[in-house]
Structure 1
Amino acid sequence: MMALVNPTTSALQQMQAMANEATIPESLDSSASASSATSPGSFTELLQQSLAKVSASQASATGEMHAFELGASSVSLNSAMIDGAKAGILFQQSLQIRNRLVSAYTDIMQTQL
């Protein structure tokens, strides 16, 4: 007889397997310092890094589009459009994360003790 699989347990096991695959051994990560190897970055640091990445992507895309508009031969329309689309996707992703955080905060604040 075949055993039933609990979907929650199965999903948790898959997430743990993906997390294990995503970790980089310290011997391969030459930029890891002793303090960051012992504790992961705080949520605030991760959020700031993510927002900085979005901002840099938008600035790069804007600069590339401006250079294309001015007729720079080193910038093609394809690369400018792709970089603009990537920046838009990163912005939408950060907006969705923000919306989910606000929703979670609202849910927590409405919880009665």
Structure 2
Amino acid sequence: MDLRISSSTAPLSGAGLARRAATPQAEGNEVGFSSALKGALQSVSAAQNHSSALQREVQMENPSVSLEETMVAIQKAQVGFQATLNVRNRMVQAYTDIMNMQV
């Protein structure tokens, strides 16, 4: 059994997009909130797909895929999904607050 954890334990790639959205890029190639959110959602989806693929390989007893690597991928996907869910809940709450304001 391989007990080494691969170096693919980097944080989600979409996490830094929200910080970069505040500063427009040169030459009219601006990164807005919607594209930052889209990138974050795509990275969460990719993490979930990767963890599902690793789970399938572990279930098929592929010797090149370790259980530890699979568990780390599952946790990454779960953390990313929870963060996405919190962002969605806060956006819905902000929308509700704005709609309930009296003008």
Whether these two folds match at TM > 0.5 is yes
By relative contact order (CA 8 Å, sep 6+), the higher-ranking structure is 2
TM-score range normalised by the length of the shorter chain? 0.7 to 0.9
Q: Give 2:28's aligned amino acid.
A: S
SS of the aligned residue for 1:73 comes to: coil
| CA displacement 1:38-67 (0-9 Å, x = unmatched) | x4x111111111100000000000000100
SS of the aligned residue for 1:111 comes to: coil
| CA displacement 1:50-89 (0-9 Å, x = unmatched) | 1000000000000001001101111111110110011000
Please state if 1:35 is matched with 2:28.
Answer: yes
Q: TM-score by structure 1 length?
A: 0.66
Greater helix share, structure number:
1
Alignment coverage as a number of residue pairs: 81
Residue number in structure 2 paired with 1:82: 72
Please state if 1:55 is matched with 2:45.
Answer: yes
* CA RMSD across the alignment: 1.8
User: In structure 2, what is the Cα distance between the partners aligned to 1:104 and 1:33?
Assistant: 31
User: In structure 2, what is the Cα distance between the partners aligned to 1:68 and 1:33?
Assistant: 45
Moved over 2 A (4+): 32-36
Question: Gaps spanning 5+ residues in structure 2: where?
Answer: 1-18
Larger radius of gyration: 1
User: In structure 2, what is the Cα distance between the partners aligned to 1:60 and 1:100?
Assistant: 27
Q: TM-score by structure 2 length?
A: 0.73
1:109 aligned to 96, 99, 102, which one? 99
